């Protein structure tokens, strides 16, 4: 009897309640301007400006993905995600200029994408200096490991792999494997 109650609760919670809440979450975010492709499924996401986010078809997002657009409201979509993309739990997109993610990308839990930096001149406080920023581009069929950090101006080529915990400060050519802090090339896909 205990098994039946536990299993029944699990099925109700994970299957039916999740689908029910997703329907209303998708409806609400679409109303606020987020563009969401067919077949895309996500749990709870956080966003400062939903109209800045465009998500392609058949994407899967785990819990607590955060889309933080640092600029003021505008009509342009600065966070663009392609089709068949997976984004793991707790990923953060802290964007000032823009990020583009290609099709079939895999982004593991805890990864961070930050396209801007504070000024570092000695003449004034760092927090009052204008930021320097440059867009991030993630190619098609890219795999980014858990807790990786991708910084401003980086382009990750098609088919590249970024190892867990890497801090990417330079662009990566297609089909290369990078790891470390700061990330360096450690091999090529074969």
Model confidence pLDDT, tens digit, residues 112-138:
999 998 888 888 898 888 888 999 999
Look at residue 12 in the predicted model and tell me its pLDDT. Answer: 67
Q: Looking at residues 108-114, what average pLDDT do you find? A: 96
Residues known to be catalytic: 118
Q: How much of the chain, in percent, has pLDDT values that exceed 70?
A: 92
Look at residue 83 in the predicted model and tell me its pLDDT. Answer: 98
Q: Looking at residues 170-179, what average pLDDT do you find? A: 97
pLDDT of 152 > 90? The answer is yes
| Residue 186, CA distances (Å) to 42, 99, 160, 166, 169 in order | 33, 25, 12, 12, 15
Strand partners, 60: 41, 86
* pLDDT digit string, tens, across residues 12-34: 666 666 677 778 888 888 898 89
pLDDT of 1 > 70? The answer is no
Separation between Cα atoms, residue 77 and residue 71, nearest integer Å: 12
Place of tokens 């504070």: 118
174 three-class SS: coil
Average pLDDT, the chain: 90
pLDDT of 71 > 80? The answer is no
Residue 181 structure tokens? 């802090």
**Residues 145, 163 contacting (CB under 8 angstroms):** yes
Look at residue 51 in the predicted model and tell me its pLDDT. Answer: 86
CA 5 and chain centroid, separation:
37
């Amino acid at each position: 009897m205990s098994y039946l109650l536990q299993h029944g609760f699990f099925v109700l919670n994970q299957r039916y309640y999740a689908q029910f809440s997703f329907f209303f979450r998708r409806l609400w975010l679409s109303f606020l301007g987020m563009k969401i492709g067919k077949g895309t499924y996500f749990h709870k996401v956080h966003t400062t400006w939903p109209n800045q986010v465009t998500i392609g078809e058949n994407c899967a997002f785990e819990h607590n993905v955060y889309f933080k657009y640092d600029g003021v409201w505008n009509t342009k979509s600065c966070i663009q995600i392609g089709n068949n993309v997976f984004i793991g739990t707790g990923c953060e997109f802290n964007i000032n200029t823009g990020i583009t993610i290609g099709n079939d990308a895999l982004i593991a839990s805890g990864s961070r994408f930050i396209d801007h930096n504070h000024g570092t001149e000695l003449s004034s406080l760092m927090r009052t200096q204008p930021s320097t920023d440059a867009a991030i581009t993630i190619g098609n069929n890219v795999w980014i490991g858990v807790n990786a950090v991708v910084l401003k101006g980086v382009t990750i080529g098609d088919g590249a792999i970024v190892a867990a915990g890497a801090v990417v400060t330079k662009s990566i050519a297609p089909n290369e494997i990078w790891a470390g802090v700061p990330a360096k090339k450690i091999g090529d896909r074969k």
